[in-house]
A and B are shown apart, each in its own frame.
Chain A
Amino acid sequence: MADFPDDLRYTTSDEWVRLEGDEMVSGITAYAAEQLGDIVYVKLPEAGQQIEQSEPYGEIESVKAVSDLKAPLSGEVTVVNADLDQNPAVINDDPYGQGWIFRFRPSNPGQYDSLLTAEAYEAKTKEG
């Protein structure tokens, strides 16, 4: 079953964000990974790429379907998880750990506070 770690914030489009010093790390939630099924391809952003909150920065494909990846906050990509290129299924296995997608430097860190808490996000997934 999907889990919802307390130390993360969440978007309504099923991304998670973790604060790590001045930077933040993001990926997709266990709930989203479960809904997608076997993830077979991630079109990653590039380091240096500017991202804008709620705008697509990449794509994620499962056997069945393709979805946009949306930026949880605005900022600049600093590092991407290049392992996903060879092993995208790690997102299914460990969405909050080895399945992280990218690290970024937020241009407006205050946006973090507007994201959903674990409790609010979990409630949202139950609404369907």
Chain B
Amino acid sequence: MEKETPLYAEHVEAGARMVPFAGFLMPLQYSSIIEEHRAVREGMGMFDLSHMGELRVSGPDAAAAVDYLVTNDIAGLEPGQIRYTPMCYPDGGIVDDLLVYRFPDHLMLIVNASNIEKDLAWVRDHLRGDATVENESDATALIAVQGPRSVPFVQDHTDTDLAPIAYYHFTQGTVAGRPAVISRTGYTGEDGVELYVAPQDAAPVWETLLAAGEALGLKRVGLGARDTLRLEAGYMLYGNDIDHSTSPLEAGLGWTVKLEKDFIARDVLERQKEEGVQRRMVQLEMLDRAIPRPHFAIWQGPGDVVGSTTSGTMSPTFNRGIALGYVARGAAKAGTDVDVEVRGARHPARIVKKPLYKREAS
């Protein structure tokens, strides 16, 4: 039986198509994936992300303990700062990718909904020193407002000055009169904010923003457009693009692997870095009308399968098929011509420089 987020009734009332996702009933789309996608690229869109998991790590050694669990630098975070990081198994495979929020007296780990129980057990079993972890997922709702018009719009509903909140930073304040953690983060490739609120505050905040925003072009956005948006921006999705069988270095996340500190999988990843990985995550675009989907073979030249796709879709922005996938090291360079096998037929594609979609600097 799937769980419902605190905004479930809002979605049903709006006529959303609800689908099971990671143990939750979530809105796939309200009107049209393409329309919702465009709203975020050109104006603004609002997402219910309450399915995401929140793990609170507290205690005197919390920062050091999390620092040891993940590949990126956590010990050096200042309060109000956020960091993206993989968390690895000792063999270098990925347990999950997450955001770590540094509060003055604790850390909050924002994890994928599909991994909440697994992550909770993993963190609990590997925390060192005087630190404890609690699962606050059911006590936390998450609303994202994303798009070029999102920050000025949310500014009209909070006393907190949003301008000084830099990308990957957060502050605590109120939105629509309700307490919220206001975070300058997102998964769309656009500027925007993510608002963590108590479950009972989710509907009032959602309704207030929607009532004020609809006239300004604010649209509700479901998981369908969330996927097309993140794929254009080259963001990976755990379970599709990364998992236990992939390492952060293969996934192009070398920038999150800090070998100068000690952490689980450090030695394995150091060796991988020295020896070089055999395959790499790439982003590609189709050169004809074919649309790639996960697990399609990627060919180079007449006879060599060099990899396979892990995610793929039709890109509403570029109006062609795009994908993420792994290819052999020799085929990973941007500009490399490859073929993607779509239901038995090979279609031309090209490896692109990641990310394919990058917003213009504001």
- Our verdict on whether A and B bind, yes or no, reads yes
Q: Provided the pairs A37-B29, A37-B33, A38-B33 are in contact, do residues A61 and B291 lie with their beta carbons within 8 angstroms?
A: yes
How many residues of B are counted as interface, with CB atoms below 8 angstroms from the partner's CB atoms? 15
Chain A residues, CB < 8 A from B290? 41
Chain B residues, CB < 8 A from A40? 34, 291, 314
Taking a contact as CB atoms under 8 Å apart, the answer to whether A41 and B314 are in contact is yes
Chain A residues, CB < 8 A from B316? 63
CB distance from A113 to the nearest CB of B (A): 33
List CB contacts (< 8 Å) of B10-29 with chain A.
Answer: 28-29
Complex CA gap A37/B31 in Å reads: 9
Q: Does A126 contact B (CB under 8 A)?
A: no
Q: Mark A21-37, 1 if CB is under 8 A from B, else 0.
A: 00000000000000001
Taking a contact as CB atoms under 8 Å apart, the answer to whether B32 and A38 are in contact is yes
Give the interface centre of A37, A38, A41, A59 by most chain B CB atoms within 10 Å: A38
Partner of A38, one of B34, B289, B343: B34
Chain A residues, CB < 8 A from B355? none
Chain B residues, CB < 8 A from A59? 343
Complex CA gap A40/B34 in Å reads: 10
Q: Does B228 contact A (CB under 8 A)?
A: yes
Taking a contact as CB atoms under 8 Å apart, the answer to whether A66 and B33 are in contact is no
Taking a contact as CB atoms under 8 Å apart, the answer to whether B289 and A41 are in contact is yes
Please count the residue pairs between chain A and chain B whose beta carbons lie under 8 angstroms apart in the complex. 35
Q: Does B204 contact A (CB under 8 A)?
A: no
Chain A residues, CB < 8 A from B29? 37
Complex CA gap A64/B34 in Å reads: 11
Q: Provided the pairs A37-B29, A40-B314 are in contact, do residues A64 and B224 lie with their beta carbons within 8 angstroms?
A: yes
List CB contacts (< 8 Å) of A82-99 with chain B.
Answer: 89, 92
Q: Does B293 contact A (CB under 8 A)?
A: yes
Chain B residues, CB < 8 A from A38? 32-34
List CB contacts (< 8 Å) of A25-68 with chain B.
Answer: 37-38, 40-41, 59, 61-64, 66
Chain B residues, CB < 8 A from A62? 33
Q: Does B150 contact A (CB under 8 A)?
A: no
CB distance from B342 to the nearest CB of A (A): 9
Chain A residues, CB < 8 A from B28? 37, 64
Q: Mark B291-329, 1 if CB is under 8 A from A, else 0.
A: 101000000000000000000011010000000000000
Complex CA gap A62/B293 in Å reads: 12
Complex CA gap A37/B224 in Å reads: 10
CB distance from A46 to the nearest CB of B (A): 15
Which residue of chain B has its CB nearest to the CB of A61? B291
Chain A residues, CB < 8 A from B293? 66
Complex CA gap A7/B31 in Å reads: 28
Chain B residues, CB < 8 A from A63? 33-34, 224, 228, 313-314, 316
Complex CA gap A41/B343 in Å reads: 15
Complex CA gap A62/B290 in Å reads: 12
Complex CA gap A97/B161 in Å reads: 53
Of the A-B pairs whose beta carbons lie under 8 Å apart in the complex, a sample of 19, sorted by A's number, is A37-B28, A37-B29, A37-B32, A37-B33, A37-B224, A38-B32, A38-B33, A41-B291, A41-B314, A61-B314, A62-B33, A63-B228, A63-B313, A63-B316, A64-B28, A64-B224, A66-B291, A66-B343, A89-B34
B interface with A by C-beta (< 8 Å)? 28-29, 32-34, 224, 228, 289-291, 293, 313-314, 316, 343
Q: Apart from A38-B32, A38-B33, A64-B313, what are 5 other A-B pairs with CB-CB below 8 Å?
A: A59-B343, A61-B291, A63-B224, A63-B313, A66-B343
A interface with B by C-beta (< 8 Å)? 37-38, 40-41, 59, 61-64, 66, 89, 92
Task: Give me the 9 closest cross-chain CB pairs, A-B, nearest first.
Answer: A40-B314, A63-B33, A38-B34, A63-B314, A38-B32, A61-B291, A38-B33, A37-B33, A41-B289
